[in-house]
Every structure is written in structure tokens, then in C-alpha cells.
Structure 1
Amino acid sequence: MKTIITTPSPDLARSDVLRDGTIDHAPDLDAAPVDRLLTQVTARGARGLILSRRPADSFLRHWSATVPGPKFLSYVTGVPRRSAPADVTEFTQADSTLTSLATALGGFERRFALQRSLPTRPGAEGRDVVLIGAGIVNLVTALYLWRDGHRVTVLDRSPAPGGAHWLRYGCTHAGDDARMVTFTEMDSYNNQDLHGTPPQYFRRPVDRQGWLATGSRPLTEREQAWIEEFERVPSWLARAYNQDIFAFTAEAFDEWTALRRELPGLFERVVLTDGILRLYGDAAHHQAALARHRAVGALARELSPAELTARFPGLAQAFESGALAGGFLVPGFTVGVHRFAHGLVSFLQERGVTFHWNAPVRRVLRDTSGTVTGFDSAVPIPDDAHVVASPGAHGHALLDGSPCEGRIQGVLGGWMRLSNERARLPCSLKVGRRGHVTEDANVTVAVDGDGRSTLIVGSGYGYVGLAGHVDEAQLDAVRLGILDTVERLFPDQAHRSASSRASDNYDFKYCVRPWTATSLGLHHTEPTARGGLFVVNGGHNTGGFAQAPAVARAVLASLTGRPHPMHALYHPERLTAFMADEAQAAAAPMEPAAYPA
């Protein structure tokens, strides 16, 4: 969307705000006569305007009459008035600093996204819902649908969990038995530094501190486009996206709290552990993270290094060696996700939800107009059922022909285990090691098959794209990075004893997480030929478990014809629609009307 900033700001030219060409800086217009301002706004077809002062209502009426589509206005001095045209959304900003300008731009984009027209629900009132995929997001969605009175069937391409080699499963069941919920669990990985440049994660291999794990395989055109889209997101927009991600996690956090109260049996025997200790390898990273968590209200308690080692003596050596510089406690909890999923499946089956394992849905059938007409499925799907697909990182065929096509690609993470019998950690950790090959690590308190206290370490980022093939050398770099984290945090760990549960006995394994270029999840809804709805949700990077209840609420809202902000803010075309500004492209700006003297 074309936007003009007239506010004088020497910082703008040194930032990335003007990089993509959709935002113009014209400080000469800030005190210009209103007819000149209107001429420029109209000539450029600008639908966003940031000024030092609120313009007169007469200007807003002419702007409304000459530039089609919704328009957005922000200023430092002035008061929003009801007399403004209906298609002009206005608000004030604190000052004219670069940060305030970025916040105003983010406000424009979010309002643009929320105002975009969304598909209406078809008239069918079917209560049958088929869920494709039995990962944790769809399992929680199944719970919400069952509670709302829907008849639910779940199909999954893999064997029943726990009965086959881990490589045969998706992210939930292939990864280890550990998931974490914090207010910042799902995050934006795009550049948020207003003076920074896009991260080169996908341009460098893992062993050179990048994320590329494809080896010598040439990237496909669609993979190249995905990486370019990741790098295209400007810092001000990444900041806005991050706020939306955090908002959905906060919604989900409240839902998790309610579920724990209303269905306590689901949280028994899952190694539920409250409180997360965040730790950092250098003082600057620690202070920056502390400020960030204060800003979003996600800080439980600050602790000095002396207090940390007194409270967590198992970390004393790591502090003494300099491997850790500081930390603080944040709200959150961890569970054994395999145990939780097993209990949830049993709970749902006992209440009439049907599960089919080894039941792939190979593709979505569409007619020549693109309308969904059915599904190529091992288990027949009723023509009039609603269908909810959570494709994970491997279900690309389910997205073909939809706006989600090619938008979810794979980023692997690795897992290791060690004993907790010596460290005796009472809560799980989140460890930041800036500049390290495995920069972020979750260390989750767990128990093995024989009831012994165990720590599960999950870490690493390895982009595998659409193909899913993992280069062994880059996978080994992830393994060595996790091993280094383990050795630095727990230098005196004894050898872990074998467990009677075979799935516990591995040295290293990985799972492939569904990722998007924007760091936003995806929520897409379209009608089917027989009056049902086809809903896609996914691409939650590291936050699928954390956000699962919010996703479930958004799915339920889609099926029952109610709005939910995720429908717009996780729309698969949110970035491209705003950058291309479809409405503006469809209608060229008109000649400005003569401005009254």
C-alpha cells in the first residue's frame, strides 16, 4: 500500500523503512499548502499518510473522493474526529521518532489486514468435521470441536503414535516428548532492527552459522521465492507481526489455563512442570531479553547470578565457567507432549471421536474453477463434511490450488537426552547463546520409561525447504551444536542409563517443523462444492503447541460463522496483499478535485 510520510525524520533514510519503494518520505510536504499535498497524495495514489499535524476535514473529504479504497492517517498533533469520511481510519502517535513512525506503519498494515473482505461461510449447518493430521494442533482442535457438539473424525498418514520408527511421524510424534508454553514461545524470525538488514539464515549452511541444511541440492524456484519473501519483510512490519503472534499466544495461554482447570485429567501423568527459567550466555543478550520480557509483561522474577546458583545448584558450574551470564524466571509450563497427546487421543476416543491411522489424504480435488470438490483419501470423506487440514511440514499436496500453496516449508530441529539425577533441575530452561550454531535451546524436565528424571534438549534450525531431504553434514552440525550446549551447561553429567521404553534410547534425532517466510501462522478458509468448508491451519514454526488452543478457537469460529482476528492476521496473503495493494492496482487514482481556496 502506497504510503507517504511527511514528518521530518533524518533517521528514515538510515533505516530499512523506505527500502521496498511502497513508502515515500516527503518532508517538504509537511508544511506545504493543502492543495499541493492533495495533488501529491492523489498523484501517487497514497492510501496511507503520516503527518506532523492532523489535516482539515475538507482535505480528508477530497482525499476520500479521489483515492479509492480504505485510507489510513496518523499524526502527532490533533484529535481524531467523527466528521472524518468513513473510509479514513485515523489515530495519533506519541511523537515523530523513528520508532513511532514504525508503530504507525504497523498500525496501518494491521487495520488494512483486518478490513480486508474475507470469504463468508456457506449456508450448510453440517456438524460432521474431518480433521486431516493428528499433530498436536489438530488434536487440540478436535477437543474444541467435540466440546462444541461436532461429530469429529481424525485421519493421519502415519501409524498410531509410538508403534513405529520416529522417522515415520510428523513433528509432534517424531520429535521428543517435550513441549513448552511461554508468552514468547512463537516469535518472528524476520529482521526487527529498524537500522538492520534481513538475516542471512537461508543463505548460509548450518556449519557456517546459517540455517541452510539442503547441502549441494539446488533450491527450487518456489524455495528461492520463499527465502526472498522472508528477506522482504521490513523491520517495521516484522515488529507488527511479532505483536500479533504474541497476542495469539496470550489468548492461547488463557485457554491453556482454563483447560487445566476444566479438564485436569488431561494434565495428569504428563510431567507438567510450571515456571520457565530463561538463561543467557552473555550479559548484553541477557539485558536485551530482560527488557523485552518486561515490555510484553512476561517477566515473573529477576534473579542475580548468585541467586540463580543458590536456587539451581546444578547450574553453578556453568556460571563459574562463564557459559552463563544471567537469567530470569518467566510464566509458562512444559509437558511431555507424547504423554499428553496419548491421553488426549484416549479421552476423545472414549467420547466418540474416531481416529484412522495409516490413512493418508493424498490431495484435494478441485474443478476447473478451483472449487474444492472432494479429497483423494484412503478413508472416504463425506462430501458435505467440513474438513480441517493441519498439513505439518510434509503435507504440501493439501495446499495445492489454495493461497497457502508453497507457503509452508520445513525447518528441522534436533533432540538429545541426558539424566537430570545430578543437576536436579526443578523446572525447564530456555537457553540463549547468541552467535552459536544452535542459538536457542529448550531444556525440558521429563521422565523416561522407568520414571527416572531426565532432561530433553531441543535446539537448532535447519532449512530443508519443500523436498524434506536433509544433508547429513548439516544435520551433524546441528547435532554437534546441541552436544556443545549440553557439555557447557552440564559439564559433569553422568552417562544416561538405558530405558525400558525403546523410544527413549537414542543419541540424536530430529523433527521437521512447518515454517512460513513471514513467521506468521496460516489460517485459510474456502467453501467446498457441497456446502462445507475446507480450512487450513499451520506453519506455526516453534509455537504450534503453545498456540494450539487459539488456533482451535479460530477454526471453531470459521465453522460457526463467527469472526476471529486470526482469520485476517494469519491470512496466507497478508503480506502480498498489503505490499501489492490489490485494491489500488485495480483502480487507478482519479484526478484531484479542485481544492477550495
Structure 2
Amino acid sequence: MKIVILGAGVIGVSTAYYLARDGHEVVVLDRQPGPALETSYANAGEVSPGYSSPWAAPGIPAKAMKWLFMKHSPLIIQPRADGATLRWMAAMLRNCTAARYAVNKGRMVRLAEYSRDCLMEMREATGISYDERMQGTLQVFRTQKQIDGVGKDIEVLRADGVPFEMLDRAGCVAAEPGLAAAAQKIVGGLRLPGDETGDCFKFTNALATLCEGLGVRFRYNVSIDGLRLEGDRIAAVKTGQGEVTGDVVVAALGSYTPALLSPLGFDLPIYPVKGYSITVPIVNAARAPVSTVMDETYKIAITRLGDRIRVGGMAEIAGFNHDLPPARRATLEHSVEDLFGGAGDQSKASFWTGLRPMTPDGTPIIGPTRVPNLFINAGHGTLGWTMSCGSGRVLADLVSRRKPAIEAGDLALTRYG
């Protein structure tokens, strides 16, 4: 079949790889001049199946009120009264129960663990390189209360067979020697040895090159203007360069997927939650992180990417906004300097923002729709890099009418009714 994929981020390119490997003719369309130039460009760099958790969790409403008054808050809500923002926030609050959290986290960990396995298989088969490291993730706790609150996550990790270690202060420093100077600021940590790190931008570009070797055609600088229906099927994708036809269309446009599908009567609960990162050149390797350290207090990920440190995090409810406020940069700088002071040269850091496509329950939307030849692979939130290979593989299986290796029925749009 001829497959038209809309979007050349890490999700779209991963999907193209698996579909091309199945022997399909694949065309990828994107408005940017190359792959991974939007949300996939400078994310936190972690491939963290064990840390795959929905933002909607018990206690989050109370925590959110506290966060709003923090100087370096992990959550920022800009005053907005539009219906899309209010509906999404209400849906997210409905998922902040213990029962829904357990279901959502279990679903996310299932997909993320599978995705990590797919990435390992791809790396072995292709030799793809992207500043990868396989040295785990360390979630650092600054208070005993944070340690006491991690029990629900550990229950899910145990249930899914995800390896983990609870570490005291000395254990954290042993795992991440760069924390030595900040040891008195932490009380313990949760280490996930199966997690990985890597540069998502480098990965996506390297994978796009592999895709081209499999016959995938990438068409960049192409605006995607809509979908033309004939009967109950997509007849063509309308672009600024004319119509593009195919047997199947895959919508992988991240936060922009709802706008594309809305004229067809779809109401996708995907919202552009804004995140930020800085990329800092390392000047003292002994003080730098070995892998990824999650600063639980500020919800900031600090990741080693070759000779750079990527510091990413925060969730800002601000709609489609790409401003770069100095206060957000200050939060990122504070977290990394507080834990790994002197490791990087902040004067040479680059500052970036991206719109994470978040669903209210944290799980992406992957699968078919009521339009027989239209599939969705979007809504991965902060975990697009972590879930990319598994999501692409599942979608390719569904398009090729194979049963995926993991349960995928609850990933589809139908879970929203």
C-alpha cells in the first residue's frame, strides 16, 4: 500500500521506518525544512520507560496550587478562558484519582517498555548512533515526604516487572558522582537501571536517512492544509503544493493533529503543553551527570548527551505560544547548578521551547479511526522520544493488519468514547 504520513517528528519518522520495513510505499510530509525541527528538537533526552507516569495523579490538584506560588514552579498556568483549554484541564482533573492513575500509568509503562525493546532491536539491527547511553535514570528526592509519596509508582513498577532500586544519599552519589557536592541537599533516590538517554534530534535525522535507504520519500517545506473525503474515506491530503494521494493516511502532527482532524468531526483531547530546555556545553566532566537525573522538586530532567548537558522540564498551559521568558530559563539553570554546579558553561547555553501534545490521561492516541483509511499516532506528551519506536511499530502492525506484540486496543481514540 501507499502510506502518507503527516509529520516528520520522531513519531512520524519512526512510523515511516516500520511501515517501510513492512514493504509499503511511504511518503512523509512536513512543513519544516527537515526532520525533528519542532517538539522533537531539544527535548530532555531521556528514554525512561520506568518514569512513564501521567501528570494526572492523586494529589496533583493540591500540589498544583502549591506549585503556582513557587519561584521555580514546575507548573505555569497562563490566564486563558478558551473552551479547549478549560475542557482539557477538566478532563485531566477527572483522571486525578487513584484508580485512573493506576490504569493510565500501567498502560503507559506497557507501551514505553515495549518501545525501549524496539529501540534496542533497531540499534542492534542498524547500528544507529545518537549520543546514546544505557546507564539508567535516577529520580532524586530532596525531602522525606517525596520518598514517602513514591509508593504508588513502585507498586506499578513491581506489577510490570520493571527493575528499580531505592537508594539512600550515599547510593545516589555512587550512581551519579557529580552529585557529591550537593549530597546534603538530597535524602535519597529511585534508580531505574533499564532506562536510557540519547539525542532525539540526532536519532530522528539518522533514522530518516535509514528510511530513505528503504525507499521512503520525504517532502519538506510542504504545508498540510486539510484532508479531502470521498464517501467514508480520505481521498487526498490537501497541501500548499497540491493534493497527495495514498491508500492510508497517518496523522502524526503532535499538538496540531486536532486542528487537522476537526473538520472531519473528530474531537481529539490533545493539548499543547509547553516545555522548555537548555543545552549546556560541559566544562567539567567530573561534575556532570552520567545519565539522567530527575530533580523531583522542580520536575526537571538533567541529561548527559555527549559533551553537552540537556536540562528540560516544566509544564506551561499557554496554548500555542512559543515565547521564551527569562524566568523559565532561570528555573532550568537553578536546578542544574544546584545539583551539578560548575559542570557546564551557562553563558554558552542555548534556550528552547516546544509544545508537547498531551492527552488528559497521559497515554498517546495510536490506532484506527472511524474513517477506514485514517490512523492516528499522536498525543505522546513528554514521552514522545521514550515511546517513539514502540508507537511506530504498533501503528505499522495495525496498518498491516497484524496483531501487535502488546495490547493496543486501549491506545486507540475509542477509549474516549
**TM-score interval for Structure 1 and Structure 2 normalised by the shorter chain:** 0.7 to 0.9
Closer, same or farther: CA 152–202 of 1 in aligned 2, 3 Å: farther
Residues 88-167 of structure 1 correspond to what in structure 2 (within 5 A)? 127-161=1-35
Give SS of 1:487's match.
helix
Structure 1 position 521 matched with structure 2 position 364:
yes
- CA deviation string 1:219-269 (max 9, x = no partner): 212221111111122431232121111111122122122222222x213xx
The one of 337, 345, 349 equivalent to 1:495 is 345
Q: CA shift at 1:426, angstroms?
A: 6.0
Is the 1:155–1:357 contact (alpha carbons within 8 Å) kept by the matching residues of 2? yes
Q: What is residue 277 of structure 2 aligned with on the other side?
A: 415
Instruction: Tell me how far apart the structure 1 counterparts of residues 236 and 92 of structure 2 sit (CA, whole Å).
Output: 33
Correspondence 1:187-586 to 2 at 5 A: 187-192=53-58, 200=64, 209=73, 211-215=75-79, 218-233=80-95, 234-263=97-126, 265-267=127-129, 270-278=130-138, 279-289=140-150, 292-293=153-154, 295=158, 296-310=160-174, 312-320=176-184, 322=185, 324-330=186-192, 331-366=194-229, 371-380=233-242, 382-402=244-264, 404-424=266-286, 425=288, 427-434=290-297, 439-447=298-306, 453-465=307-319, 468-469=320-321, 475-493=325-343, 495=345, 506=350, 508-526=351-369, 533-564=373-404, 567-575=408-416, 577=417
Structure 1 counterpart SS, 2:134: strand
Distance 2:150 2:94 in 1: 25
Q: Are 1:201 and 1:210, in contact at CA under 8 Å, matched by a contact in 2?
A: no
Sort the Cα spacing of 1:454 and 1:227 in 2 relative to 1 into closer, same or farther, 3 A: same
Structure 1 residue identity aligned to 2:315: Y
| Count of residues paired in the alignment | 409
Task: Assess if the C-alpha contact under 8 Å between 1:205 and 1:212 holds in 2.
Answer: no
Unpaired stretches in structure 2, ≥5 consecutive residues: none
The offset of 1:146, in angstroms, is: 1.1
Partner Cα distance (1:297, 1:526) in 2: 32
Quickly say closer, same or farther: Cα 1:203–1:231, change in 2 above 3 A.
Answer: farther
Match of 1:93 in 2: none
**C-alpha contact (below 8 Å) 1:213/1:470 kept by paired residues:** no
Using the size of structure 2 for normalisation, the TM-score is 0.87
1:191 to partner: Cα distance: 2.6
Query: What fraction of aligned residue pairs are identical, expressed as a percent?
Result: 20
Report deviation, 1:572.
Answer: 2.5
Tell me which amino acid in the other structure corresponds to 1:187. S
Summarize the Cα distance change of 1:555–1:402 in structure 2 as closer, same or farther, 3 Å threshold.
Answer: farther
| Contact map agreement 1:309 1:315 (CA 8 A) in 2 | yes
Q: Where does residue 43 of structure 1 map in the other structure?
A: none
1:404 touches 1:524 (CA, 8 Å); kept in 2? Answer: no
Instruction: Give TM-score scaled by structure 1 length.
Output: 0.62
Paired AA for residue 108 in structure 2: I
Give the structure with higher Rg (CA). 1
CA shift digits 1:390-425 (9 cap, x unpaired): 011234432214565341111111111334342434
CA distance in 2, matches of 1:516, 1:571: 12
SS of the residue 2:318 aligns to: strand
The CA deviation at 1:515 is 0.6
Residue by residue over 1:354-404, the C-alpha shift from the partner in whole angstroms, topping out at 9 and shown as x without a partner, is 11110121112246x775343212355554421111011234432214565
Task: Report if aligned partners of 1:190, 1:198 keep a CA contact under 8 Å in 2.
Answer: no
Distance 2:77 2:322 in 1: 6
CA distance in 2 between counterparts of 1:222 and 1:481 reads 28
CA shift for structure 1 position 554: 2.2
Query: C-alpha separation between the residues in 2 aligned to 1:309 and 1:290?
Result: 22
Letter of the aligned partner of 1:444 in structure 2? T
Question: 2:38 — aligned with what?
Answer: 170
Q: Given the superposition, is the C-alpha separation of residues 379 and 148 from structure 1 closer, same or farther in structure 2, using an over 3 Å criterion?
A: farther
Number of the residue aligned with 1:90? none
Alignment-mate amino acid for residue 52 of structure 2: M
| 1:67-107 Cα deviation digits (max 9, x unpaired) | xxxxxxxxxxxxxxxxxxxxxxxxxxxxxxxxxxxxxxxxx
Amino acid at match of 2:202: R
Secondary structure of residue in 1 paired with 2:52: coil
Q: 1:329 to 1:421 in 2, by over 3 A?
A: farther
Instruction: Give the residue type in structure 1 aligned to 2:238.
Output: D
2:225/2:239 contact within 8 Å kept:
yes
Helix, strand or coil: the match of 1:157?
coil
After superposition, the C-alpha distances for 1:169-204 in whole angstroms (9 at most, x for unaligned) are 42012x25x5211223432111336xx867657995
Task: Name which of structure 1's ranges 479-488 and 140-149 shifts more when overlaid on structure 2.
Answer: 479-488
Aligned residue type for 1:275: Q
- The one-letter code matched in structure 2 to 1:220 is D
Which residue number corresponds to residue 182 of structure 1?
A: 48
* 2:183 partner letter: F
Aligned residues of 2:278 and 2:332 also touching (Cα < 8 A)? yes
8 Å contact kept, 1:204–1:211: yes
Cα deviation for residue 351 of structure 1 reads: 2.8
Unaligned runs of 5+ in 1: 1-126, 163-168, 448-452, 499-504, 578-597
3-state DSSP of counterpart to 1:364: strand
- Which digits, 9 at most, give the CA deviation of each residue in 1:299-349, with x for residues without a partner? 3444432243355432111113x2x22224311111112221221111211
Deviation at residue 527 of structure 1 after TM alignment:
6.5
CA RMSD across the alignment: 3.0
Residues in 2 aligned to 1:543 and 1:210: alpha-carbon distance in whole angstroms: 17
